[in-house]
Amino acid sequence: MGKFIYVVLLMFVSAYQGDSELNPKVTRSFTIDYKNDQFLKDGKPFRYISGSIHYFRTLPSEWRDRLRKLRMAGFNAVQTYVEWASHEPEPDLYDFSGILDMEAFIRIAHEEDLLVILRPGPYIDAERDMGGLPYWLLRKNKDMRLRTSDPTYLEEVEDWFTNILFPKIKPLLYEYGGPIIMMQVENEYGSYPACDYAYTAYLRDLYYREFGHSVVLFTTDGDSTSFLKCGKIQEVFSTIDFGPGGNISKIFKSMRLFQPHGPLVNSEYYPGWLDHWGQPHSIIGYQEVAKSFEEMLQLNASVNMYMFHGGTSFGFTAGSNSGSEFLVCPTSYDYDAPLSEAGDPTEKYWVLRNITQKFLPIPAGTVPPPSPKYKYGDVNLSVLGSVLQLRFLLQSVHATWPLTFEELFVPNGLVLYETTITFRTSDPARLTISDIHDRGYVFVDERFVGMVSREAEMYDLALQSLPNQTLSIIVESQGRVCFGEGINDFKGLTTRPTLSDYELRNWSMTPIPVTNITRLLSALHNLEKILKQRKVRPEQLRGTERGGMSFYKGTFEIPSISSHPRDTFLKLKGWSKGIAWVNDFCLGRYWPEVGPQVTLYVPRGILKHGTNSILILEQEASPCQIPSQCIVSLEESPNINGPTPKTDI
């Protein structure tokens, strides 16, 4: 009897081991064959053609559509970052829901027959606020040396990786039946001046400790020795990134200097490029992109296209860049990619698909069509009240000297700084804020008197003032620096302002809760009730004579038929600069005055049948001095290539 049970048990175990999904270690492996310069998938030669899609830049309702379009282009893998800042917005407060459900995105990719190349960071760049690092690191230690072996930084990284992120990733690895075949260590570290080998070795060891040595780790750096010498990590596979043009074979020689054996890999091949407010929209012709793409594939290289679908930096997630000048990234991350911001196949998509099918089979079936768009038309708005009126319903902090956003527990958005002028000044007096981060709107006794701007390098303002008047400065964060040595980018009044060379003291600081829609709506509701009771006239609700620093609201209807809601685009003709919400979802920042982005993408996933709401915070000037022109419109076509100051010169 015992022998019979043993035989049955042996048969059961054998059957269990034969199922790779149940016990994938028996048959599933992804390795590098250094001798023959190739990847091996389950022991067989393999080459990937991958495309970057960031789950946090596309609504979950659209993930499958974008991933299927990637697969139907013949690509066999998707690459995505993991953004620490979004998943842990405050210490020990975690969010993996909705647009941040990383695991669900990876599972859908698996269902769509795509492998996954994961880039967990901790730093990602990606033109995100602070390169995807949590802003609160700067609050915990203002002298923290990010992306180095600084113990205070490593402590936070290790807690995030080992206790939160890595346990979510491990079951999704290829060897355990999931789609993740490779993971990147850090990101383009060779471009970071610290060049801390102890830090990158620490990260490598952390990965191997948690996942074992069977996992394939890689680094990505620019295609020159100056980048690779600090980006290379011993015992980690080195890859490079570069865009179209140039001699492809020659470019790959730089990789071979640091990675003599193994497959050729371009981990970021650029079919487009990022944009900045006030500068022309970046476009790269499909002919140039296609030529270099095919040349790489002819060399048997593995290629990841960054981006295949760029998507949108919703809310306040877009970052900025600094160097010779401070440049701010717009809300759209279209990137001139094969799939547009709304996920529509472009001409570039079809050209690249034709090339891909020469090297990999195209799946059976048809490419999903573009999403239907709709022109919902004009939306009448009315003014709710101003930021200065709202401040009386919000909590303030008082200190002798101005505190930064980080010290005030403010991740982004706006903070109102106020002080009383206690002395007599010259006429005019010079207000100097030598290090404004990033844009300051200045009021004297609630009268708007001008701006200071990091972007324009304007740090002085002439104004008239008298003793006992209130000086108010509404400071806007335009996104923390995402690349290079300036990522320790504190926001707000990061220096002590002076008036006629006298340091101003005793500040009151009021965060405007634009990053917390629940708190914002509650405050606006209470403000609206108070202003109605006082019978305040509409013109008294504006923060400035031109309607700046004011909130506006309106509603529009969507037909209750199955073909709706549809994607649409918010156009703000006559409006200047601000923030827009639809159905309490923050679309992001708008700034059509400087371009190139003129419209904001409104995905159908945030719309509903019946009544929908729009909320606008206009910071500078609205068209509402004429009530009939106090409108925005919902259009069926985007415009992210509008005029800019650079194109008009």
Catalytic positions are: 188, 268
Q: Which amino acid is at 140?
A: K
CB-based contact 598:571 (threshold 8 Å): yes
Q: Which residue in 67, 142, 16 sits closest to 494, CA to CA?
A: 142
CB-based contact 319:83 (threshold 8 Å): no
Q: Which residue in 435, 188, 451, 481 sits closest to 329, CA to CA?
A: 481
Q: Which residue in 226, 188, 184, 230 sits closest to 204, CA to CA?
A: 184
In the sheet where 30-33 sits, what is the strand order? 30-33, 38-41, 44-46
Helix (H, G, I), strand (E, B) or coil at 381: coil
- CB-based contacts of 576: which residues, under 8 Å, 6+ apart? 548, 591, 592, 593, 618, 619, 620, 621, 622
Q: Cis peptide before 565, with omega less than 30 degrees from 0? A: yes
Q: Which residue in 434, 401, 618, 437 sits closest to 509, CA to CA?
A: 401
Q: What is the 3-state secondary structure (H, E, C) of 287-314?
A: HHHHHHHHHHHHCCCEEEEEEEECCECC
Q: Which residue in 602, 644, 638 sits closest to 281, CA to CA?
A: 644
Helix (H, G, I), strand (E, B) or coil at 163: helix
Q: Which residue in 506, 500, 449, 491 sits closest to 473, CA to CA?
A: 449
Q: Which amino acid is at 545?
A: E
Burial of 327 per CB tally in 10 Å (0-12, 13-18, 19+): buried
DSSP state of 90: B
- For the chain, the maximum distance between any two Cα atoms, rounded to a whole number of angstroms, is 105
Helix (H, G, I), strand (E, B) or coil at 24: helix
Instruction: Quote the distance between the C-alpha of residue 506 and its chain's center.
Output: 36
State the Cα–Cα distance between residues 37 and 264, nearest whole angstrom. 8
| β-strand partners of 493 | 436
